[in-house]
Chains A and B, each alone.
Chain A
Amino acid sequence: MAAELEVLAHAPTRAPNPHAPSRPSGCAVPSEEPLIGGGKTLTQVTRDVCAPLERRPTFAWWAALCAALAMLLFGVWAVGYQTATGIGTWGLNRTVGWGFDITNFVFWVGIGHAGTLISAVLLLFRQKWRTSINRSAEAMTIFAVLCAALFPVIHMGRPWLAFWVFPYPNARGSLWINWRSALLWDVFAISTYFTISLLFWYVGLIPDLATLRDRARGWRKKLFGWLSFGWDGSGRTWSRYEMACMLLASLATPLVVSVHSVVSTDFATSVVPGWHTTVLPPYFVIGAVFSGFAMVLTLMLIARRVMRFEDYITVRHIHAMCKVLVFTGSIVGLAYATELFTAWYSGNEYEMFAFENRLHGPMAWAYWIMVSCNVFVPQLLWLRRVRGSMVAIFVISLLVNVGMWFERFVIIVVSLQRDFLPSSWSSYCPTLVEFGAMVGAFGLFFTLFLLFCRFLPMISMFEVKTVLAPAHPKEHA
Chain B
Amino acid sequence: METHDDNLLLPFEDTTSSRRSFLRTVGFGIASAAMAGCSRGPVRYVVPSLAPSPEILPGRAYWIATTCGACSAGCGVLAKCRDGRPIKLEGNRAHPASLGGLCAVGQASVLSLYDSMRLDGARRGGASASFEDCDRELTRIFAELERSGGRVRLLTGSVHSPSTRAAIARFVARFADGRHVSYDPLPASATLTAYELLFGRRLLPSPQFERARTILAFDADFLGTWISPVEFGAAYTRGRELAPGAKFRHIQLESRLSLTGSRADERVLLAPWETAPALAGLCAELERLAGLPSRLAQLGATPRSERIAALAHEVWASRGASLVLCGIDELESQLLCAYANELLGNHGATLDLARPSQRRLGDERALGELAAELDAGSVDALVIAGVNPAYDLGGRLALARAKHVIVASEALDETAVAAGWVCPAPHALEAWDDGEPREGLFVLTQPTVPALRSTRSLRASLARWSGDARSDRDLVRAHWRSEIFPRSGESDFDLFFERALQAGFVELEPRARRSLAFRPDALAQLAPRAQSPAPGALALVLYAKVGLLDGRHAHNPWLQELSDPVTKIAWDNYACLAPTTAATLGIGEGDVVRVHTEQGAIELPAHLQSGQHEGVVAVALGYGRVGTGRFARVGPHWLDAQPTVASDGVVGVHAGPLVVWGSAGRSFAGAPARLDRLARNVSLACTQDYHSLELPAALASHGHEVRDAVRSTSHAEHAADPHAVARSKHPVADQDLWPDDHRGERRWGMTIDLARCTGCSACVIACQAENNVPVVGKDEVLRHREMSWIRIDRYYQGEGEELRTLHQPMLCQHCAHAPCESVCPVLATVHSAEGLNQQIYNRCVGTRYCSNTCPYKVRRFNWFDYPHEDALANQALNPDVTVRSRGVMEKCSFCVQRIQEAKARASVEGRALADGDVQLACQQSCPANAIVFGDLENPSSRVSASASDPRAYTLLEELNVQPSIRYLAHVHSGRSTKKESGHGG
Contacts and interface: CB of A to CB of B under 8 A. Distances in A.
B856 A97 contact: no
Contact of A425 (B689, B810, B852): B689
B825 interface: yes
Given A270-B852, A270-B853, A349-B701, A422 B795 contact: yes
Residue among B855, B856, B862 with the most chain A CB within 10 A? Answer: B855
A415 to B, nearest CB: 9
Contact of A422 (B638, B695, B786, B863): B695
A357 B887 contact: no
A15 to B, nearest CB: 48
Given A419-B855, A423-B810, A95 B699 contact: no
A157 B700 contact: no
A352 interface: yes
Most chain B Cβ neighbours within 10 Å, of A158, A356, A416: A158
A97 B848 contact: yes
Interface stretch (B96-104, B712-720, B839-847): B839-847
B810 A158 contact: no
Contact of B640 (A97, A182, A426, A431): A431
A157 B886 CA distance: 7
A161 interface: yes
B844 A93 contact: no
A161 B865 CA distance: 17
A361 B699 contact: yes
Contacts of A156: 845-847, 887
Interface stretch (A80-88, A116-124, A382-390): A80-88
A354 B167 CA distance: 68
A161 B845 contact: yes
A353 B959 CA distance: 16
B491 to A, nearest CB: 59
Given A178-B822, A178-B825, A93 B783 contact: yes
A87 B861 contact: yes
Contacts of A307: none
Given A270-B819, A353-B699, A361-B699, A164 B638 contact: no
Contacts of B693: 422
A181 B780 CA distance: 30
Contact of A177 (B794, B822, B827): B827
Interface string B586-620: 00000000000000000000000000000000000
B698 A421 contact: no
Contacts of B848: 87, 92, 97-98, 155, 157
B688 interface: yes
Given A95-B857, A97-B848, A156-B846, A86 B961 contact: no
B313 interface: no
Nearest to B729: A349
Contacts of A93: 783-785
Interface in B953-977: 956, 959, 961
Given A177-B826, A361-B699, A420-B956, A94 B785 contact: yes
Contact of A421 (B780, B824, B827, B855): B855
A272 interface: yes
A278 interface: no
Interface string B694-705: 011011110010
A86 B810 contact: no
B12 interface: no
Contacts of A237: none
A427 interface: yes
B443 to A, nearest CB: 38
A420 B698 contact: no
B199 interface: no
A89 interface: yes
A157 B855 contact: no
B844 A157 contact: yes
Given A89-B638, A175-B843, A270-B853, A356 B699 contact: yes
Interface residues of B, number: 64
Contacts of B493: none
A178 B856 contact: no
Contact of A97 (B700, B810, B845, B851): B851
Nearest to B887: A157
Interface in B806-865: 808, 810, 819, 822-827, 843-849, 851-853, 855-857, 859-865
A178 B824 contact: yes
Contacts, number: 195
B479 interface: no
A67 interface: no
Interface string B769-784: 0000000000010011
Nearest to A428: B784
B690 A271 contact: no
Contacts of B887: 86-87, 156-158
B888 interface: yes
Nearest to B788: A94
A356 B851 contact: no
A353 B823 contact: no
A432 B826 contact: no
B639 A420 contact: no
Given A88-B863, A176-B827, A157 B856 contact: no
A420 B845 CA distance: 26
A12 to B, nearest CB: 49
Contacts of A272: 852-853
Contacts of B861: 87, 92, 94, 97, 157
Interface in A148-166: 152, 155-159, 161-162, 164-165
Interface string B672-705: 0000000000000000111111011011110010
Contact of B707 (A81, A157, A422): A422
Contacts of B785: 88, 93-94
Contacts of B865: 86
A476 interface: no
B896 interface: no
B636 interface: yes
A446 to B, nearest CB: 26
B403 to A, nearest CB: 54
B845 A353 contact: no
A423 B759 CA distance: 14
Contacts of B845: 156-159, 161-162, 164-165
A252 B847 CA distance: 29
Contact of B886 (A86, A91, A161, A419): A86
Contacts of A360: 698-699
Given A157-B888, A425-B690, A94 B784 contact: yes
B285 interface: no
Contact of B855 (A183, A420, A427): A420
Contact of A158 (B793, B846, B849, B857): B846
A352 B709 contact: no
Contacts of A162: 845
B847 A270 contact: no
A180 interface: yes
Given A156-B845, A352-B704, A419-B857, A97 B852 contact: yes
Interface in A410-445: 416, 418-427, 431-433
16 contacts: A86-B636, A86-B887, A88-B636, A94-B859, A94-B860, A94-B861, A152-B847, A157-B888, A183-B823, A183-B847, A271-B961, A421-B856, A422-B709, A423-B709, A427-B689, A432-B639
Q: Across chains A and B, which 10 residue pairs bring their CB atoms closest together, nearest first?
A: A157-B846, A157-B887, A88-B863, A97-B848, A424-B857, A423-B793, A93-B784, A349-B704, A158-B887, A86-B864
Given A81-B639, A422-B693, A426-B689, 15 more contacts: A87-B861, A88-B780, A88-B864, A98-B848, A157-B847, A157-B848, A157-B888, A187-B825, A269-B823, A420-B707, A420-B709, A420-B956, A423-B791, A424-B857, A433-B639
